Amino acid sequence: MSNMLRRTALKAIGAGTAGLAGLASSNGVAADNHVAQIQAIHAVPDAPAVDIYADDELVAEDVAFKDITSLTLPSGATSFSVTPTGSGPGAAVASWDLTFEGGESYTLVVLGELSEGTVEIKQFSDETSVGGRFSGSSALARVVHAVPDEEDVDITVTVSTANTDREADVPNRVRSDLLSLIDLFKGTAGGYIPQFVRNRVQTPGLFQFLADVPEILVRLTLFNGVEYASASDYLKVPSGPYTFQLRRETEDAIPADDPFLFGDPLTLLPGETYTVVAVGYGYTGDEPVDEPVDVVVASS
């Protein structure tokens, strides 16, 4: 496609994104092999709202920190740039040459720190189908580490088993629930079950102790050693609510006094694929803005 034709296509797409909704299938995969589906996420905590340009054509404007914007762009090589809103393409704080395959889906994460001059654009290819065993009751999830003042991190979640409607066999029922929970994660999440859980399910005294507990919470490590500005592999997990936590390699939650780092549980729906982007600062007292660690979730 010539530059003139490509610019014309970008103008048409930027002006009529709503009219192109029919190009995308229900699960987010581009139905037209000449275009790509893109979700762009503003993950620069100390940057104002931004405009996004593709080949010097405005394709998204006034995108605030933690916002997600959806784009439909022609396949091929594209020069992306990000500018403070209203400043024009000549005031780019980050520029990147990216290539998109037609019929594919991507997540773009604008990350780094404006004050440090480290803003960059990262491109990640999306999975759009769970597939395989347990696909009807599972979701795919991955994590992008975009917290600029943190090094490698682990991502943990809490999962629960409700101990309700118990009769005389309460301890055995609790044991059964926990074993079922563990078996489910072994089958779908590759066996990421903490050793302390595996040890204690063999201890009858634990289940007597938990007989009157209405709910048991178990912490599971889903992603180990995720590097800054990178994405983990996708992981198949049972659908349902999750409370994601970001942890340093010292096993401390970030921040240490807030164990449920990302607030209310996130519900992962069966058959859906998710990109969970950790954003903000781990040490808010020493940073240019007060933006504590948070999460942005994009589904494909």
pLDDT tens by residue, 168-216 = 444 455 455 555 555 555 544 444 444 444 444 444 555 445 555 555 5
Q: What is the mean pLDDT of residues 78-83?
A: 94
What are 116's two structure tokens? 């440090």
Closest of 297, 299, 255, 246 to residue 276, by C-alpha: 297
pLDDT in tens, 223-238: 888 999 999 999 888 8
Residues 18 and 63 in one domain: yes
* Same-domain check for residues 189 and 288: yes
In DSSP notation, 63-119 reads E-TT-EEEEEEESEEEEEEEEETTS-GGG-SEEEEEEE-TT-EEEEEEES-TTTT--
Which of 232, 240, 262, 274 shows the shortest CA–CA distance to 39? 274
* pTM assigned to the model: 0.74
Statement to judge: residues 200 and 96 lie in one domain: no
Terminal alpha carbon distance of the chain: 27
List strands edge to edge, sheet with 266-268.
215-226, 153-162, 240-248, 266-268
Beta pairing, strands 240-248 & 266-268: antiparallel
The mean pLDDT value of the chain amounts to 75
Looking at 97, 125, 153, which one is the last position of a domain?
Answer: 125
Strand-pair category, 68-74 with 35-42: antiparallel
Q: What is the pLDDT of residue 300?
A: 81
Q: Is residue 148 part of a domain?
A: yes
Domain count, the chain: 2
Q: Are 259 and 245 in contact (CB under 8 A)?
A: yes
